[in-house]
């Protein structure tokens, strides 16, 4: 085993999740590389010191350049606002340091292209943090589809729906400003990434993007509340997706249905430790969707728990993600999803925005 100095930029919601994951991943998966929480960066010296003390980092800084340039920081996790992603990633790659970047990669398509080019030009390990697709249930669903267990896929439906802005009287915040913080910028990337993982590349898209509550207490809303898309995958499969931050009653509605010629699969992140599977070759009297609880027989479950049905949680997804990042660094081999994969998500969503304005199909 060898230790590796990790620097995390951002100590808030996702910064904490990554810090906890890096602290736990060696024990959970017995990784050959053991992360050392070397430095955390936050927006002020006081908040950086607070995160250092709370999460167990050796040092803290309010200057991201100090973290990136420090020789003891050997791998970097970007969990800052999107506007800073490109500059930080390019600086890290210039020094030959691997980067795990929170989704979506850049604030703009141009940023995402530049980040991908920098990663590939330098040959540094790079990975985008799409955690939800890493649950044991979704990994198992992906395996069933790839192995043809539900036959040839004919249809896909996906959604990422939440209700944190369902109340029209909720005040305007940073979330209601700018496309990057709208529903297409914030929630949609997760489900588009899932669609690519489960079904494959998307060839065409047509979309409608809408702001429902154009004003809120404290200001005008400048981004979208919800959006719908129809897509045609490169393999001919038909699909549709819906994204919303005003979907009353939905808390973590990352859900999908996949229909095939021999069966079908349903999944809902609000019940993340189960998938629903239908097989056409079951006896007619027993034919129907069956609930399969995840357990040690499913991908990446056993390291957390030996009991089937006991379940994994949100933080465990981030620990699996950390394992994959460390594996990529250890072996020098890329692990999905790379920046190139993240760029494809950005391209699809950019095409969706153009489609909504032109009211036409867009070809990727």
Q: DSSP of 26-66, one letter per residue?
A: HHHH--SEEEEEEEEE-SSHHHHHHHHHHHT-SEEES-HHH
Tell me how crowded residue 248 is: count the other CB atoms within 10 A of its CB. 9
Share of the chain above pLDDT 70, in %: 100
Q: In whole numbers, what is the pLDDT of the chain averaged over residues? A: 97
Predicted pLDDT of residue 104? 87
Predicted pLDDT of residue 86? 97
What order do you get walking across the sheet with 274-279 strand by strand? 290-293, 274-279, 263-268, 253-260, 153-161, 238-244, 226-233, 202-210, 362-363
Q: CA 166 to CA 249: how far, in whole Å?
A: 9
pLDDT 10s digits, 297-336: 999 999 999 999 999 999 999 999 999 999 999 999 999 9
The superfamily CATH assigns to domain 136-309+344-358 is Dihydrodipicolinate Reductase; domain 2 (3.30.360.10)
Nearest Cα residue to 29 out of 331, 304, 294: 304
pLDDT of 5 strictly over 90 = yes
The tokens describing 310, both together, are 């006991």
Strand partners, 101: 78, 128
Q: CA 122 to CA 116: how far, in whole Å?
A: 10
Mean pLDDT of 98-122: 95
Give the pLDDT band of residue 174 (cuts 50, 70, 90).
very high
Is residue 145 within 8 Å of residue 154, measured between CB atoms?
Answer: no
Least confident of 57-66, 102-111, 158-167: 102-111
Predicted pLDDT of residue 1? 73
Max intra-chain CA distance, the chain: 66
pLDDT of 190 strictly over 90 = yes
Give CATH for domain 2-132.
3.40.50.720
Predicted pLDDT of residue 253? 97
Is residue 85 within 8 Å of residue 101, measured between CB atoms?
Answer: yes
Q: CA 35 to CA 22: how far, in whole Å?
A: 6
Predicted pLDDT of residue 299? 98
Mean pLDDT of 108-112: 95
pLDDT 10s digits, 203-220: 999 999 999 999 999 999
Mean pLDDT of 265-290: 96
pLDDT of 357 strictly over 90 = yes
Predicted pLDDT of residue 245? 98
Mean pLDDT of 28-33: 98
Mean pLDDT of 77-86: 94
- The reported pTM is 0.95
Is residue 234 within 8 Å of residue 213, measured between CB atoms?
Answer: no
Domain boundaries, the chain: 2-132, 136-309+344-358
Predicted pLDDT of residue 337? 97
Is residue 88 within 8 Å of residue 76, measured between CB atoms?
Answer: yes
Share of the chain above pLDDT 90, in %: 98
Predicted pLDDT of residue 145? 98
């Amino acid at each position: 085993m060898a230790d590796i100095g990790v620097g995390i930029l951002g100590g808030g919601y996702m910064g904490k999740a990554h810090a906890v994951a890096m602290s736990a991943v060696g024990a959970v998966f017995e990784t050959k590389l053991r992360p050392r929480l070397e430095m955390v960066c936050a927006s002020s010296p006081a908040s950086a010191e607070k995160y250092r003390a709370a999460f167990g980092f050796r040092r803290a800084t309010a200057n991201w350049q100090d973290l990136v340039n420090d020789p003891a920081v050997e791998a970097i996790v970007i969990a800052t606002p999107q506007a800073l992603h490109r500059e930080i990633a390019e600086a890290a790659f210039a020094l030959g340091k691997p980067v795990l970047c929170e989704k979506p990669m850049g604030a703009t398509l141009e940023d995402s292209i530049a980040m991908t080019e920098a990663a590939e030009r330098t040959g540094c390990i790079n990975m985008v943090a799409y955690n939800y697709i890493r649950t044991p249930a979704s990994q198992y669903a992906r395996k069933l589809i790839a192995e043809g267990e539900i036959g040839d896929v004919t249809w896909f439906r996906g959604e990422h729906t939440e209700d944190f802005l369902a109340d029209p009287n909720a005040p305007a915040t940073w979330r209601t400003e700018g496309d990057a913080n709208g529903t297409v910028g914030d929630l949609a990337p997760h489900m588009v990434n899932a669609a690519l993982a489960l079904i494959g590349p998307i060839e065409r898209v047509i979309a409608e993007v809408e702001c429902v509550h154009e004003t809120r207490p404290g200001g005008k809303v400048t981004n979208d509340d919800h959006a719908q898309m129809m897509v045609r995958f490169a393999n001919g499969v038909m699909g549709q997706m819906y994204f919303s931050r005003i979907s009353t009653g939905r808390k973590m509605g990352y859900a999908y249905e996949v229909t095939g010629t021999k069966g079908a699969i349903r999944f809902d992140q609000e019940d993340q430790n189960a998938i629903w599977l239908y097989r056409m070759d079951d006896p007619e009297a027993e034919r129907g969707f069956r609930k399969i609880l995840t357990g040690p027989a499913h991908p990446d479950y056993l390291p957390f728990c030996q009991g089937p049905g006991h379940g994994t949680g949100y933080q465990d997804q981030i620990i699996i993600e950390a394992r994959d990042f460390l594996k990529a660094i250890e072996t020098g081999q890329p692990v999905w999803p790379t920046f190139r994969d993240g760029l494809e998500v950005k391209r699809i969503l950019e095409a969706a925005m153009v489609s909504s304005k032109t009211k036409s199909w867009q070809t990727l």
